[in-house]
Amino acid sequence: MLPPVVGVFDVERLQLTEAEEPRLSSSDQAARDRVWEKAVQANPALFDGPVVACAELQHAGPRVLSLSWVRVTYRHYALRRVPGATALPSLFVNVVQPTDGGRVLVARMSSSTAAPGRWQLPGGSVEPPQDGERLEEAALAGQAARELAEELGLDAGAEALRLWAVTRGENGSVGLTYLAPALAEPAVRAAFADAVAAERAQGREPELDDIALVSSPQELGGLAGPHADYLEPIVRRFADEV
């Protein structure tokens, strides 16, 4: 197993295996549902849709990780607030979008999201394939490309993204980080402005309400608000490679 601490792991390939969701006691199920229903009352935008959780993550060879995944719904993560219960770590994809000036785009979550004001990379939770189908690495790259297009208006395409790192967060969450081709800074800013305007024209609040371009972990300190736990290590790694 990988160490249960915040960290960034170099990886070129994933071995993906589906596992069964652990059984819950009736008391944990009831407590989970109470927590979830209370959260929905506070934020009706919460949606109990299907997502993928991580059952196990371990090294399988040089720059190869073995990842066991489970089909759950967002309700599953309410177990984090149930004393004595254990929630599986979440699994998400995100994208490092560089500029041709050697900076990295970071984005702020809007007030309508589950993490208002948090700075992070563009991305989102992994969605499961159809029942009976396997989760393929190409599909993960496709989901990362879709998040980039929806949130930033940048159409990189899955074939242009490269699996660059895997992160382990404070609560065990696992992030699959893809590297996109560098773009000119004005093009990035214009695409984001157009994406935000398009969302608001449809009467929707965009998931991201601001972006910043940073070249070092020190510049992250100037961004007010919470930061995703993987953000500083990812920016540091990118700065070391430039």
For the chain, domain boundaries: 7-241
Query: CB 55: neighbour CB atoms within 10 A?
Result: 18
Distance between CA 125 and CA 175 in Å, rounded? Answer: 9
The predicted pLDDT at position 71 comes to 97
Residue 160 DSSP class: G
Distance between CA 83 and CA 29 in Å, rounded? Answer: 12
The predicted pLDDT at position 11 comes to 87
Handedness of CA 159, 161, 164, 166 (dihedral sign): negative
The predicted pLDDT at position 1 comes to 52
The predicted pLDDT at position 45 comes to 80
Low-confidence ranges of the chain (pLDDT < 50): none
The predicted pLDDT at position 37 comes to 97
Distance between CA 61 and CA 11 in Å, rounded? Answer: 10
Please report where in the chains the tokens 């402005």 appear, as a residue: 193
Q: Look up the pTM and report it.
A: 0.93
The predicted pLDDT at position 46 comes to 85
> Starting at the edge strand that comes first in sequence, how are the strands of the sheet with 7-10 ordered?
7-10, 162-168, 174-179, 91-96, 123-125
What is the CATH code of the structural domain delimited by 7-241?
A: 3.90.79.10
**Contact indicator for 149, 155 with CB cutoff of 8 Å:** yes
The predicted pLDDT at position 5 comes to 54
Mind giving me the DSSP string for 32-85?
A: HHHHHHHHHHH-TT----EEEEEEEEEEEETTEEEEEEEEEEGGGGGGGGSTT-
DSSP strand pairing (119-120 vs 64-73): unpaired
**What pLDDT digit, counting tens, does each position of 45-67 carry?**
888 999 999 999 988 888 899 99
Longest dimension (CA), the chain: 55
The predicted pLDDT at position 44 comes to 86
